[in-house]
């Protein structure tokens, strides 16, 4: 009988179906990684270096940019090295650590959208009490429970995954995603599947339900107040775009992982990867374009940096 407890080292085989074309994937993923790093770093710098942007919504946008700056760092460099040098190995401990950070920061992508929707709800539905409700001491009652929820649920299913015995060490992915590791286990994984589904429901699904409810209340309030309607709707459009894109990518990734018979493995791995990388690339660009104050300061910063580089070149 095979010693199933001996698998403490795993091999990634994501995109191996592409054969000799696999190293070409380095180019698009490297470009997306650079865009994610530069765009989010610029957004964080602009918000925190300009006092006029030290408003609740701008700070929340900068906080989300910090999350989306950290998230790719935990899996993209390793994936790029795998494309170029065929480095595919990872230990069980390394896999669990990577999994924890990926899912932990990934969970905060939807959680920050919840906090942003709360900001818009307070600003539009209770404008007279906005500054009082968004004061840090009061807003912490919305921050702390969701942060603790994310930490507990992610730690739960990662810990359960670490206790499994594995029949094989071939992970058909480019990084340690929860279900990609669990499916390698011997015996029943019912508890792991339930823990994963519980985290799925109580984090992204519950977050998006809360966001939907808050936006229904916002649009109802806007329809009753024609004077502030256009301006209020404009402030919500950016967040609606981000929420829609995020939800679409999450649903595609979720379905692609569970509808396997009709999808090539490379397509499933691609969608599962884009679920994490796509928001990190495009959310800061959307906020930078759609938010007037941030866009103006970003353009000034880029102009200043360009002038400084040109001065050095001479």
Q: Is residue 44 part of a domain?
A: yes
Question: How confident is the model over 127-185, as pLDDT tens digits?
Answer: 889 999 999 899 999 999 999 999 999 999 999 999 999 989 999 899 998 988 998 99
Q: Is residue 280 part of a domain?
A: yes
| 10, 32 Cβ separation under 8 angstroms | no
- Expressed as residue numbers, the domain containing 215 is 4-305
Q: Is residue 244 part of a domain?
A: yes
Mean pLDDT of the region 292-310: 77
Q: Is residue 310 part of a domain?
A: no
Residues of the chain with pLDDT > 70, as a percent, come to 89
pTM of the full structure: 0.88
Q: Does residue 204 surpass a pLDDT of 90?
A: no
**Domain CATH for 209:** 1.20.1070.10
List the alpha helices (DSSP H) in the chain: 26-49, 56-70, 76-85, 92-125, 130-133, 136-162, 178-182, 190-200, 206-224, 229-258, 265-290, 292-313
Q: Is residue 154 part of a domain?
A: yes
> For residues 84 and 251, which has the higher predicted lDDT (pLDDT)?
84
Q: What is the pLDDT of residue 198?
A: 92
Q: What is the pLDDT of residue 311?
A: 65
Q: Is residue 124 part of a domain?
A: yes
For the chain, what is the domain count?
1
The Cβ of residue 153 has, within 10 Å, a number of other Cβ atoms equal to 21
Q: What is the pLDDT of residue 299?
A: 85
Q: What is the pLDDT of residue 292?
A: 81
Question: How confident is the model over 11-32, as pLDDT tens digits?
Answer: 999 898 888 889 999 999 999 9
Q: Is residue 312 part of a domain?
A: no
Q: Does residue 200 surpass a pLDDT of 90?
A: no
Q: Is residue 313 part of a domain?
A: no
* Residue 121 CB contacts under 8 Å (≥ 6 apart), including other chains: 214, 217, 218
Q: What band does 260 get if pLDDT is binned at 50, 70 and 90?
A: low
Mean pLDDT of the region 213-226: 82
């Amino acid at each position: 009988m095979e010693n199933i407890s001996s698998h403490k080292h795993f091999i990634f085989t994501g995109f191996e179906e592409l054969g000799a074309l696999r190293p070409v994937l380095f180019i698009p993923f490297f470009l997306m990684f650079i865009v994610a790093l530069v765009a989010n770093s610029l957004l964080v710098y602009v918000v925190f270096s300009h006092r006029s942007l030290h408003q609740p919504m701008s700070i929340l946008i900068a906080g989300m940019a910090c999350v989306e700056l950290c998230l790719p760092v935990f899996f993209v460099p390793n994936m790029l090295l795998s494309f170029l040098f065929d480095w595919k190995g990872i230990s069980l401990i390394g896999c669990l650590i990577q999994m924890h950070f990926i899912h932990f920061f990934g969970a905060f992508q939807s959680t920050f959208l919840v906090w942003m929707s709360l900001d818009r709800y307070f600003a539009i539905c209770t404008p007279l009490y906005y500054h009082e409700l968004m004061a840090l001491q009061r807003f912490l009652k919305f921050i702390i429970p969701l942060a603790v929820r994310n930490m507990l649920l992610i730690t739960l299913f990662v810990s359960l995954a670490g206790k499994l015995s594995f029949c094989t060490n071939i992970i058909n992915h480019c990084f340690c995603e929860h279900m990609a590791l669990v499916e390698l286990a011997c015996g029943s994984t019912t508890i792991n599947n339930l823990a994963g589904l519980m985290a799925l429901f109580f984090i992204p699904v519950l977050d998006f339900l809360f966001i939907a409810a808050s936006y229904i209340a916002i649009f109802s309030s806007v329809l009753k107040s024609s004077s502030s309607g256009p301006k209020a709707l404009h402030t919500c459009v950016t967040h609606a775009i981000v929420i829609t894109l995020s939800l679409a990518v999450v649903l595609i990734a979720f379905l692609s992982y569970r509808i396997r018979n009709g999808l090539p493995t490379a397509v499933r791995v691609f969608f599962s990867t884009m679920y994490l990388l796509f928001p990190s690339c495009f959310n800061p660009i959307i906020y930078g374009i759609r938010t007037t104050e941030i866009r103006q300061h970003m353009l000034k910063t880029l102009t200043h940096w360009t002038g400084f580089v040109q001065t050095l070149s001479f």
